């Protein structure tokens, strides 16, 4: 598997009219979905050089994230340094990928300008969480204005949060209108719709919310804020990927996918990549259509790559993020 550098989406999702017939036909067989998800880790295994290549691909698809109340410009600058050089230079030389970088750096609005400054010239985009993240309960006009402020500050990707109540009450028109307004406010910035799947109640709701957000123009659909009790899971990912596949079959438009929250081990990243390959195909195994929302995942991947190169495991503290 060859490394592909971070890139912009080939074709943005323009969206479609809201098609409630398609939305209401969306269903999810929980038992079948859970069986399929449970079988994946045991069936898919990559070793040695193949594993190193897959891990490098995972690195290229990471949205390296800090969303802490005590974030500072200095911490974000250090994180951006790690984004530019995510794995030790000698290890990247050993596996033949000296120019490997992450997919993006994801921060709160106040840290967009420091991140954009630290990443200038790198080609690595800044993603900003927005719209009253993580709950999405601030006044609507402020949520829309927040998007514009982050774009003006230098964010080229905006991770918005939907109003969960629209899904829980089945008000698909309201969800569609909200998503359309958010997309319009993004302008040229790509928009990722965070569904907060752990708060949507059922897998059927996840499937329907996925479709509505894509119809409204989401460039990516994302599982979680990372702040819910349950974040990214394989069953939820399977449902969302199949919604993406259905939307592509219907419109010809590719929408990206971003699992976020709780993905901290290299072996879990490999499982998600295998699921993407099986459900969506190789075209989605690039950073313009797949991202991990993660903060600690990179450290474990670097440790595994070092083991591949040297044959020994190092202490985890030797791979600090910043």
**CA angle 180–104–231, rounded 5-degree value:** 70
**Which residues neighbour 15 within 8 Å (Cβ) at sequence distance 6 or greater?**
180, 183, 214, 215, 216, 217, 218
Which of 225, 223, 228 lies closest to 244, judged by CA?
Answer: 223
List, by residue number, the catalytic residues: 159, 222, 258
The first and second tokens of residue 146, run together, are: 């927040």
* Per-residue CA distances from 191 to 37, 87, 142, 244, 296 (Å): 27, 28, 17, 15, 24
CA distances from 63 to 128, 193, 213 (A): 11, 15, 21
Q: What angle do CA 103, 224, 161 make, to 5 degrees?
A: 95
The number of residues in the chain equals: 322
Look up residue 104 and give its DSSP letter: E
């Amino acid at each position: 598997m060859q490394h592909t550098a971070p890139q912009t989406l080939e074709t943005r999702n323009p969206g479609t009219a809201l098609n409630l017939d398609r939305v209401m036909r969306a269903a999810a067989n929980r038992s079948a979905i859970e069986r399929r998800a449970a079988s994946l880790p045991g069936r898919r295994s990559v070793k040695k050089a193949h594993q190193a290549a897959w891990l490098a691909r995972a690195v290229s698809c990471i949205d390296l994230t800090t969303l802490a109340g005590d974030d500072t410009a200095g911490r974000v600058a250090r994180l951006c340094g790690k984004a530019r050089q995510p794995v030790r230079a000698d290890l990247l030389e050993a596996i033949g990928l000296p120019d490997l970088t992450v997919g993006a750096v994801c921060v709160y609005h106040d840290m967009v300008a420091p991140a954009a400054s630290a990443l200038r010239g790198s080609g690595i985009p800044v993603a900003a969480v927005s719209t009253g993240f993580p709950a999405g309960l601030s006044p609507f006009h402020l949520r829309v204005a927040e998007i514009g402020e982050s774009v003006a500050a230098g964010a080229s990707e905006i991770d918005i949060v939907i109003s969960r109540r629209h899904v829980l009450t089945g008000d698909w028109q309201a969800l569609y209108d909200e998503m359309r307004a958010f997309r319009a406010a993004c302008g040229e910035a790509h928009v990722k719709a965070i569904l907060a799947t752990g708060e949507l109640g059922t897998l059927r709701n996840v499937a329907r919310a996925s479709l509505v957000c894509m119809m409204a123009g989401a460039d990516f659909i994302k599982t979680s804020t990372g702040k819910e009790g349950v974040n990214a899971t394989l069953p939820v990912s399977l449902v969302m990927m199949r919604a993406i596949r259905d939307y592509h079959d219907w419109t010809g438009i590719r929408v990206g996918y971003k699992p976020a929250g709780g993905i901290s081990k290299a072996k879990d990243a490999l499982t998600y990549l295998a699921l993407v390959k099986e459900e969506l195909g190789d075209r989605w195994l690039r950073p313009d259509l797949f991202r991990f929302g993660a903060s600690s995942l990179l450290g474990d991947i670097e440790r595994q790559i070092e083991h591949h190169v040297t044959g020994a495991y190092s202490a985890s503290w030797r791979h600090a993020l910043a």
